Amino acid sequence: MAKKIGVTMEVGNDGVAVITISNPPVNSLASPIISGLKEKFRDANQRIDVKAIVLIGNNGRFSGGFDINVFQQVHKTGDLSLMPEVSVELVCNLMEDSRKPLVAAVEGLALGGGLELAMACHARVAAPKAQLGLPELTLGVIPGFGGTQRLPRLVGLAKATDMILLSKSISSEEGQKLGLIDALVPPGDVLSTSRKWALDIAEGRKPFLRSLHRTDKIGSLSEARAILKTSRQLAKKIAPNMPQHHACIEVIEEGIIHGGYSGVLKEAEVFKQLVLSDTAKGLVHVFFAQRATSKVPNVTDVGLKPRPIKKVAVIGGGLMGSGIATALLLSNIRVVLKEINSEYLMKGIKSVEANMKGLVSRGKLTQDKAGKALSLFKGVLDYTEFKDVDMVIEAVIENIQLKQNIFKEIEKVCSPHCILASNTSTIDLDVIGEKTNSKDRIVGAHFFSPAHLMPLLEIVRSKNTSAQVILDLMAVGKAIKKVPVVVGNCIGFAVNRTFFPYSQAAHMLANLGVDLFRIDSVITSFGLPLGPFQLGDLAGHGIGLAVGPIYAKVYGDRMFRSPMTELLLKSGRNGKINGKGYYIYEKGSKPKPDPSVLSVVEESRKLTNIMPGGKPISVSDKEIVEMILFPVVNEACRVLDEGVVIRASDLDIASVLGMSFPSYRGGIVFWADTVGPKYIYERLKRLSETYGSFFKPSRYLEERAMNGMLLSESKSSRSRL
Ligand SMILES: CCCCC[C@H](O)CC(=O)SCCNC(=O)CCNC(=O)[C@H](O)C(C)(C)COP(=O)(O)OP(=O)(O)OC[C@H]1O[C@@H](n2cnc3c(N)ncnc32)[C@H](O)[C@@H]1OP(=O)(O)O
Ligand SMILES: NC(=O)c1ccc[n+]([C@@H]2O[C@H](COP(=O)([O-])OP(=O)(O)OC[C@H]3O[C@@H](n4cnc5c(N)ncnc54)[C@H](O)[C@@H]3O)[C@@H](O)[C@H]2O)c1
């Protein structure tokens, strides 16, 4: 059925015109909505039977803001004229400066341009629990319908900068306390109260307040300057490589110094500059990439419905199992945790409790909710409780035989509908299920550590996994607030496989004589939170050593074998776990580079002997980035070529959420397309001539470079899913 898009106006006998925005599912402000709003406001202002106006969104949602698809169109075409002129004509002239009072009837959500429309009204009546915020900075732009000026005037400068810079939304309850919402009423009363409020303003019983003209919450100039100074420091810390935070502060400051209207004009000018920035392109891509993961061909489009998952058994309460159990419990899913003996079981239970405690102490969870979650938790040493679980997630140590035996056992004790998932990071799912007759319900649930915090869930589908099981796991993933990405079965799946050259390239550079701390610093300046050596410290070098041979077996032709990890472990450095790796880890202080590790690096250099003429190579920072990340792009090409992901954007979002690749660069493939496949191909070709097959360009990259195609173009990609 075609969705009904438009703006309607109904004038009641009370003389109130109700203007309704309809654009499912979130009433985004697409071009027809904006022109519809202009037309209806003009109309309402002209009609003599209209005394006052109420603005409302259809289907219980006020508006999710300006239509983000338009940004994408602007990015594709470079055509800025696709952006409507709104801030002055609609929001100031037709709405705020209207002679007839306007009341926003806010239900569900008012975000971005949605909240900005509401703030241009003369009062706001809201239902409980409505979500209010200006998240534009997460899209690389700033609020563009006057939000930079009106929010500070309604809630105060400090709160407004906090909400805008951190893209933090608030509830209507908090909004009422702050003065953003004038009345909070039960959902069924929002429209009737808004009508009455609008008439009260029209008839002088309530004040006719124009947000942009208010000054009572701004404070003195010196107070405002102090707040903006703190905001600038915050922006520097949270967004060192992005322009929109600083630009937004400048725009807010303009309004403080020269008045709201001047601020609105500057806002419009800066908005236009930012919308074409690379940051906005990357972030808007990530927005849609995340939503695209919900669409899995032959799974989400064949009329299946997810089955309820109420009770889950987790096998193994180590690092991953305890994190997975925590995530499930926090979403009210009952969990039984099975361990091998009571000592390990106690350890697992304590880890789950510690995870909850950590969330409480950081203010992310109330004590009450933590208590409720833990009441759904039970530790066990046998399979008795497994008879009525809807899903098992196995998270025992990475051992093929052990996992095969466990799957054989659980197949017998669980009901036939129960999903049998493994959190393996490297073992082929077909091998895990080899000894069972349940291959259609075996699936990979690959969480990232720490599992209760990291947002990505790779759902690994073997050639036998049923569509129903994939759908069920996607629903569980969403319920526990993860972004589920369905991927194919191969060693390393999508994320770890794409990024296996990351640390190897770093090791090669270090063995070629480049300072390892410089490498980490260059990579963090590029935007990854940790450089490859610090990341290795965090994961623990034992793991690196254990998975090396597994990768070597399948990807050996393109691996750089460095003795450094083994030497590191021999010298008693396992990374953060034992306080010593490339860096020194002391409680309460940041990791410090450990100069004494350089003797290990020297030993490794002697063994590999790859420095040309025995002398360290000289490279620029740009070359370091290329030598480390282009091999990653090369592997991403193979992942695309083999159809391990459904679409290139799935790998983008997986790289952002699983590896913390900077979202403002749009993810690994998007970034590579920005750099240019031809350039990457030529650089890798030259590097492979100098340093060997580790850098050899893949067939996919070569084809794309030769044909002038982007890596993300789907023409010849063959999804195996
Ligand atoms: C001159 C122009 C100036 C413009 C100025 C203005 O200040 C700029 C803006 O307003 S930018 C937009 C600001 N708003 C947002 O950033 C909100 C983005 N959306 C969300 O955060 C969420 O979608 C949600 C909280 C509104 C709803 O979340 P929920 O989980 O319920 O649903 P989904 O996220 O899966 O979204 C459902 C589908 O709706 C699409 N969608 C959501 N918001 C927008 C939007 N603003 N524009 C266009 N489309 C939007 C989303 O893509 C989903 O579509 P599918 O096709 O995947 O179903
Ligand atoms: N560590 C990571 O970063 C990470 C990330 C993703 C996936 N994984 C995968 O998750 C799995 C678990 O890894 P981990 O790091 O949590 O390991 P871990 O060593 O911390 O925990 C494994 C737990 O399994 C328990 N166990 C062993 N045999 C068992 C049995 N028969 N029944 C019940 N419990 C048993 C052990 O007692 C131990 O507590 C592995 O397959 C690993 O590859 C690990």
How do residues 58-87 score in pLDDT, each as one tens digit? Answer: 999 999 999 999 999 999 999 999 998 888
For residues 482-500, average pLDDT: 96
Whole-Å CA distances, 13 to 9, 52, 676 = 13, 12, 62
Look at residue 545 and tell me whether its pLDDT is greater than 90. no
State the closest ligand 1 atom to the C-alpha of 294, by its place in the atom list counted from 1: 57
* For ligand 2, atom 25: residue with the closest CA: 316
Q: Which two tokens stand for residue 154?
A: 């309604």
Q: Residue 393 phi/psi, 5° resolution?
A: -120, 115
Catalytic residue among 85, 89, 107, 116: 116
Helix axis angle, 532-539 relative to 516-526, nearest 10°? Answer: 100
Structure token pair of residue 627? 């030598």
Q: Is the CB of 25 under 6 A from ligand 1?
A: yes
Q: How confident is the model at residue 721 (pLDDT cuts 50, 70, 90)?
A: low
Describe the crossing of helices 147-155 and 157-165 by its angle, rounded to 10 degrees: 130
C-alpha distances out from residue 582 to 317, 534, 572, 588, Å: 29, 7, 11, 18
Nearest Cα to 425, choosing from 452, 453, 456?
Answer: 456
Ligand 1 pocket residue status of 91, Cβ below 6 Å: no
- Best of 22, 31, 68 for a ligand 1 pocket test (most atoms within 8 Å of beta carbon): 68
Q: Is the pLDDT of residue 719 over 70?
A: no
Using a 6 Å cutoff on CB, does residue 398 contact ligand 2? Answer: yes
**Separation between Cα atoms, residue 313 and residue 324, nearest integer Å:** 10
Radius of gyration of the chain (CA): 28
Give the Cα-Cα-Cα angle 248, 253, 257 (nearest 5 degrees). 155
Give distance in angstroms: CA of 432 to centre of ligand 2. Answer: 15
Asked whether residue 716 carries a pLDDT value surpassing 60, the answer given is no
Arithmetic mean of pLDDT, 143-164 = 98
Nearest CA to ligand 2 atom 8: 425
Percent of the chain whose predicted confidence (pLDDT) is above 90: 95
Distance of alpha carbon 283 from alpha carbon 514, whole angstroms: 33
The CATH number assigned to the domain with range 6-276 reads: 3.90.226.10
Ligand 2 binding pocket includes 316 (Cβ within 6 Å): yes
pLDDT at 84: 87
Q: Say how far apart CA 505 and CA 631 lie, in whole Å.
A: 7
Order of all β-strands in the sheet with 131-133: 109-111, 131-133, 170-171
- With beta carbons less than 8 A apart as the criterion, state whether 317 and 700 touch: no
- DSSP-H helix ranges across 362-399: 367-374
Strand duo 583-584 + 592-593: pairing: antiparallel
| SS3 label, residue 449 | coil
Percentage of the chain lying above the pLDDT 70 cut? 99
Residue 718 has pLDDT above 80, yes or no: no
From atom 55 of ligand 1, which residue's Cα is the shortest distance away? 291
Nearest CA to ligand 2 atom 7: 425
Residue pair 637/698 in contact (Cβ under 8 Å)? The answer is yes
Contact between 137 and 165 (Cβ < 8 Å)? yes
Report CA(350)–ligand 2 centroid distance (Å).
16
User: Measured from the CA of 449, which atom of ligand 2 is nearest?
Assistant: 3
Over residues 214-242, the mean pLDDT reads 95
Residue 87 is predicted with a pLDDT of 83
CATH of domain 311-489: 3.40.50.720
Residues near 452 by beta carbon (within 8 Å), at least 6 away in sequence: 323, 324, 326, 327, 330, 355, 359
State which fold the 496-562+611-706 domain adopts.
N-(1-d-carboxylethyl)-l-norvaline Dehydrogenase; domain 2 (1.10.1040)
Handedness of CA 370, 371, 373, 379 (dihedral sign): positive
First CA to last CA distance, the chain: 28
Question: By the 8 A CB rule, do 381 and 341 touch?
Answer: yes
CA–centroid distance, 128 to ligand 1, in Å, is 21
Residue 1 scores a pLDDT above 70: no
Pocket test for ligand 2, best of 425, 427, 460 (most atoms within 8 A of CB): 425
**Structural tokens at position 305:** 């419905």
pLDDT digits (tens, 9 = 90+) for 667-704: 999 999 999 999 999 999 999 999 999 999 999 999 99
Q: Which amino acid is at 523?
A: I
3-state secondary structure of 287: helix
Contact between residue 413 and residue 383 where contact means Cβ atoms under 8 Å apart = yes
Beta bridge partners of 183: 125
CA contacts within 13 A on the Cβ side of 456: 25
For residue 136, indicate whether it is catalytic: yes
Task: Write the residue with the smallest CA distance to atom 30 of ligand 2.
Answer: 340
Nearest ligand 2 atom to the CA of 348 is 39
Mean per-residue pLDDT over the chain, rounded = 96
Q: Cα–Cα distance between 329 and 375 in angstroms, integer?
A: 9
- Is 116 annotated in the active site? yes
pLDDT tens-digit map of 348-405: 999 999 999 999 999 999 999 999 999 999 999 999 999 999 999 999 999 999 999 9
Residues 103-115: tens digit of each pLDDT: 999 999 999 999 9
The pLDDT of residue 481 is above 80: yes
Q: Tens digits of per-residue pLDDT, 558-575?
A: 999 999 999 999 999 999
- Expressed in angstroms and rounded, the spacing between residue 67 Cα and the centre of ligand 1 is 7
Catalytic residue among 96, 136, 339, 626: 136
Cα atoms in the Cβ-side hemisphere of radius 13 Å centred on 190: 28
Work out the average pLDDT over 185-213: 97
Ligand index nearest the alpha carbon of residue 118: 1
Averaged pLDDT for residues 429-450? 95
Ligand nearest to the CA of 399: 2
Location of structure tokens 């590191």: 568
pLDDT at 432 > cutoff 60: yes
Per-residue pLDDT at 543 = 84
Q: Determine the distance separating the centroid of ligand 2 and the alpha carbon of 398, expressed in angstroms.
A: 7
Ligand nearest to the CA of 460: 2
Q: Give the strand pairing for 311-315 and 334-338.
A: parallel
Amino acid, res. 132 = L
C-alpha–C-alpha distance, residues 201 and 670, integer Å: 51
Q: Is the CB of 621 under 6 A from ligand 2?
A: no
Over residues 267-283, mean pLDDT: 97
**pLDDT band, residue 461 (cuts 50/70/90):** very high
Q: Does the beta carbon of 338 lie inside 6 Å of ligand 2? A: yes
Q: Ligand 2, atom 20: nearest CA belongs to which residue?
A: 318
Distances in Å between the Cα of 136 and the Cα atoms of 25, 140, 280 are 19, 7, 10
Is the shortest distance between the CB of 395 and ligand 2 below 6 Å?
yes
| Spatial distance between the Cα atoms of 158 and 167, rounded to a whole number of angstroms | 14
* ipTM above 0.90 for this complex: yes
- Residue ranges per domain, the chain? 6-276, 311-489, 496-562+611-706
* 134 CA: nearest ligand 1 atom: 13
pLDDT of residue 717: 45
Whole-number pLDDT of residue 165: 98
Provide CB contacts within 8 A for 265, sequence distance 6+: 88
